[in-house]
Chains A and B, each alone.
Chain A
Amino acid sequence: MATSTAPKAAPGAAEKPASPKPRKQKLSTRRRREALSFYLFISPWVIGFLVFLLGPMIASIYYSLTDWDSFNPPKWVGFDNYVKLLTDDPVFWKALWNTFYYAAISVPLGLVLGLWLANLLNKQVRARKLFRTLIYLPTLIPLVATAMIFRMVLAPNGPINDFFGLFGLSGPNWLLDGPWVKPALILMSAWGAGAATVLLLAAMKGIPRELYEAAEVDGASATRQFWSITLPHLTPIIFFNLIMGLINAFQIFSQVYILIPKGKNPAGYDAAQTMVPLLFDQAFSYYRMGYASAISWLLFLVILVFTVIAFRTTRRWVFYETEVK
């Protein structure tokens, strides 16, 4: 196949050297074949990306400027949707606050927990392979199953509140009582810390032994070693987990949808409605596609701002070994 294409392309290539870009050299047949296979193999992704992601994204910019019920032709309304969202929709601000609340606590908590667990699992203890498996296991359980388990665990007389009962405390109605619903969601997110743990653990294994040996000779304590050797080496992975965690936290949907279903637990849903569930309701329950598109773009901006901030600060705290050498 490549041989039939190559001769056709060659004349075209031969004409070009006269063009005002002399730095582009005529490609060898091998390079051209390589390029061909590159585009061939990347095309499924490119086409998928254009048709299913970038295309709809651009279309949604247009829709966000219209009043559209998804059935009848959209009506152009300019920035009305955005103005209404930002100035005249308390539910939007509540959802945004809930999302911030969730992200601000669950992301750092996930990082700290992951780091702590990874550090523990890196120690020479009996059955540590088993522990590693067990800690990663929760991330393999489908979200629906996890949510079902958490509904039982967090029941008013469930195991968690029974545990509190041992100390004479009466636990809250986690999923029913307004202020406790978001902490319950965060608790469930901590359950998935194993995913970060595995990445951190792998990075820990990659830290050269001689650094620790040298530190030991110098008389550095274990704590000192952790802060001065382990942690700096882990910062790229921590940074990766931070970015992924931020994006996932802002887009939280299924957990809310399953743990506190709107129909059965309106109070819980009301107390913890985040951005994506709000968007979903507007689009598919109230048939306000234009409004929902505007919400999605505002959410996109919020995520963008936080990701940019995170990237801007990398120079101060993320340590890439290759950059030092």
Chain B
Amino acid sequence: MTLGRAQFSRRGFLGLGAAAGVITLTACGSSAGSSDKPLVMTVWGGDPDRKTYQARIDLLVKKHPDLKVKLQLIPGDSYPQKVQTMIAGGNGPDIMQVAESVNTYSSKNQLLELDDLAQTAKLDPEQRFGPVGSLYTYQDKLYAIPDRSGAVTVFYNKDMFDKKGIKAPTAEWTWDDALDAFKELTVPGKVWGYSGAEWFPQWWSLAYQNGGTIIDANGRPAVASDEVVEALQWAGDLVFKHKVVPSKADYADMGPDIGGDQAFPNQKVATHANGFWVMSGLTKVSFGWDIAPMWRGKKQAVSAFGSGLAISRTSKQRDKAFKAIDFLTSTESQAQIIASGQDVPANLEVQKSQAFLKPSWMKTDVDMGVFAESSEFVFRAPFIPEWNEMIDTISNGLADFWLGKERSAKKALTALQKDLEALIKSGA
């Protein structure tokens, strides 16, 4: 056929498209990889995270020269999509950071069971990480080794507390003690006593303190129970009844993307409960601050933030990947996490070490022992396979509640319970 005649008919063009379509379909199943390639490790975060992970990898390579690790840092909000694409393309990461949504992967058969590998390597998660060691198990199988793990702690503005003559918060504070202090600290329109009621790890802590659960022991949603209702009502009342916590409208007026994490360093709120990362905004502030363990309800309970390291099922170098994970979660490598001020290492020995209790970068005197203390009463959050949808459903379901349009926690949670039941059909 001559070039001049090589005209494409519409049908021929569509046919080529179909061929490309078939290629697209089949390409999703293919995979390639040899054992000489470096291990690919995916993590999320920003530049400080990159430095810390790289420092830990450098230590690993020094100790085990046979291992090569290529670090891929992906911004947090696109991490799931990126990893999903890698796995679907047959080139999943060898080592992969996972967190609350771990079981969306494990339930879809995308993560390697680590029990045998751990046993061979003589890594006992319970001994190395305490109760957190079994956090990433699904149907009694271990899918990730804890890497970072820090409880929610109460950040408080020492200067404001001193000025009002209020004693520092303790783990023995009751809900009433907390409310009294917040009321005392609030200057209407200027300073709020507390922030950190609305995000799920924050109000869940209260629900668990009150004896409630989000998902019950049988794997069914349980948010409409009296215990959860009472806890959410108390949290909501902080915002709309007592007005000791900024509302969404108050935050929006402080500027775009302002929440408790920014309001606390700006002295807009006197107390704040959140994760370790709040400290990064506090290194340059001029006021005195410290941390305390979360207060208590009927019992002690607090959320924790963390992540683990898993091996994707597509990995061609499982043994090497586990060897790397074993080292990355050892005391030597985990000490880097706190030395750089990135996060709380999951390794208990490091959490109790002098390097953690007195980090070199910490200019003020902060009671870092709070993290080890809190880790004893961290409740186990329900990492169900439908985690992402559950969180979206909860935040949608409670949207009107946190806007103050629906003031009854009972009504909001009863409706939410129905939505969750529709979503989570199978009991574990």
User: Which residues in A have some Cβ–Cβ distance to B below 8 Å?
Assistant: 5, 9, 12-13, 16, 24, 27, 31-32, 35-36, 39, 50-51, 54-59, 62, 69-73, 148, 151-152, 155-158, 173, 175-177, 262-267, 269-270, 281, 284-287
Contact = CB atoms under 8 A, between A and B. Distances in A.
A173 B17 CA distance: 48
A78 to B, nearest CB: 18
B252 interface: yes
Nearest to B104: A287
Given A58-B20, A287-B84, A152 B109 contact: no
Q: How large is the interface on B (under 10, 10 to 19, 20 to 34, 35 or more residues)?
A: 35 or more
Given A50-B16, A58-B20, 12 more contacts: A9-B2, A16-B2, A32-B2, A35-B4, A39-B6, A55-B21, A70-B84, A71-B108, A158-B253, A173-B249, A175-B252, A284-B84
Nearest to B388: A285
Nearest to B82: A284
Given A58-B21, A71-B87, A39 B3 contact: yes
Closest 5 CB pairs of A and B: A55-B20, A58-B21, A54-B17, A267-B399, A266-B395
A31 B109 CA distance: 58
A50 B2 contact: no
Interface string B133-171: 000000000000000000000000000000000000000
A55 B17 contact: yes
Nearest to B8: A46
Contact of B24 (A39, A56, A155): A56
B380 interface: no
A46 B107 CA distance: 40
B110 A286 contact: no
| Residue picked from A12, A35, A50, most chain B C-beta under 10 Å | A50
Given A39-B3, A71-B88, A151-B256, A58 B17 contact: yes
B104 A24 contact: no
A206 to B, nearest CB: 34
A123 to B, nearest CB: 37
A176 B2 contact: no
A287 B106 CA distance: 13
A19 to B, nearest CB: 10
B17 A27 contact: no
B403 A267 contact: yes
Contacts of A285: 80, 388-389, 392
Interface in B16-59: 16-25, 29
A31 B4 contact: yes
A267 B400 contact: yes
Contact of B392 (A55, A56, A176, A281): A281
Nearest to A266: B395
A58 B248 contact: no
A57 B1 CA distance: 30
Contact of B3 (A35, A57, A173): A35
Given A12-B1, A24-B5, A284-B80, A51 B395 contact: no
30 contacts: A5-B3, A12-B2, A13-B4, A24-B5, A27-B2, A32-B2, A35-B3, A35-B6, A39-B3, A51-B20, A51-B24, A54-B17, A55-B19, A59-B22, A62-B25, A70-B88, A71-B84, A71-B110, A151-B252, A156-B252, A157-B253, A158-B253, A173-B403, A262-B392, A266-B392, A285-B388, A285-B389, A285-B392, A286-B386, A287-B84
B427 interface: no
A47 to B, nearest CB: 9
Given A27-B2, A173-B249, A176-B248, A69 B108 contact: yes
A9 B3 contact: yes
A59 B24 contact: yes
A148 B256 contact: yes
A129 B88 CA distance: 52
B331 to A, nearest CB: 34
